[in-house]
Structures are given as structure tokens and as C-alpha cells.
Amino acid sequence: MALGYVGVLTVRVEMPWVASLKEKRALVRPVVERLKVRYPLTVARLDGLDAHDWEVIGVATISNDYAWVEETLRMAADYIAREGPYRVTDEHTEITPLGADDDED
């Protein structure tokens, strides 16, 4: 049985109409900051920081309850999709068990 679960969500957002890094940051950063406040998550802008028209947002959480991790990441993905003036083009969720002991009787 696992001691807990680490959940990671990555979301790629695209905004082909954006012409500058400053404009992109103004669209993405507020969503990332509000997500941190609203949910018990660690959130980071992971990739595309030098691109003006796309970015990858990463989200992570940990708990002893698999269903809670899954639901929290789903709520985060839904929040990202509805809150920003961009298009979500890719989303990936991975939940990994921690401390699983196969030798338990």
C-alpha cells in the first residue's frame, strides 16, 4: 500500500495573437498566481518562457488520498482552461505512488 501520492499536471497554453513576452506574461501570470491561492498546489511556469505565443504551466500536489490528488488536479486543469484568454492545446496528468511496499503481509 502506498504512503501517499504525488500528482503532476502539465498544461500547454497557446495564444498565437500575442506579439510580445510582456503581453503573454500579463495573460498567464495572473492565472498562475490565483491558482496558487485557490488550491493547495505548487504551480510554476515551466517552458516557453522565451516564446511569445505559448507556455507550459506545471502543477503539483501530494496527499495520502489518490482520489483527492486526482480531483485537485482536475479542478486545477479546469481552472486553467476557463480563466485565461488563451487556448489549452495539451494537458497531461501523472499520479505516482510514494513508499509502496510490495513486501507487506
Burial of 61 (0-12, 13-18, 19+ CB in 10 A): buried
- Topology (CATH) of 4-98: Alpha-Beta Plaits (3.30.70)
More confident residue, 25 or 100: 25
- What's this model's pTM, rounded to 2 decimal places? 0.88
More confident residue, 8 or 1: 8
Give Cα separations from 51 to 25, 27, 30 (angstroms). 10, 13, 18
1: confidence class by pLDDT, cuts 50, 70, 90? confident
pLDDT digits (tens, 9 = 90+) for 34-61: 999 999 999 999 999 999 999 999 999 9
Give φ, ψ of 38 to 5 degrees: -75, -35
Domain-by-domain residue ranges, the chain? 4-98
